[in-house]
Amino acid sequence: MRALLAIPLMVILVVFALSNKQVVQLGLWPTDILIDLPVSLAVLGIAGLFFLFGALVAWSGTVAERSRARRAEATVRQLEAQLASLRSRPALSLPPPG
């Protein structure tokens, strides 16, 4: 299933890279660093960085929920162990009322 999605995406990326070979000069503003890159590499590189940034933001948003789920699972295991120990005890025989 993943291949059905990955193969067309890879074809699109390869066609994009092959059709955008023009060189651009990228500079980092406060410094005098200049880099000559093909347009396709610059665009795909920046898109990849923002994809990773978005993945990091999405992952950090789920940290609290995963932690709460782990605590709930530990509580469930503890309660199941208590229930099993209570079920294994013999029933107390109470004297008849009166």
Per-domain residue ranges of the chain: 2-62
The per-residue pLDDT string of the chain (98 residues; one tens digit each, 9 = 90 and over) reads 788 888 888 888 888 888 888 999 988 888 888 999 999 888 888 999 999 999 999 999 899 899 999 999 999 999 999 999 988 887 666 677 76
Q: List 72's β-bridge partners, or say none.
A: none
- For residues 24 and 46, give the distance between their C-alpha atoms in angstroms, rounded to a whole number: 14
Question: Is the pTM above the cut of 0.85?
Answer: no
DSSP-assigned letters across all residues of 23-67 = EEEEE-TTS--EEEEEHHHHHHHHHHHHHHHHHHHHHHHTHHHHH
Through-space distance between the first and last CA atoms of the chain, rounded to whole angstroms: 72
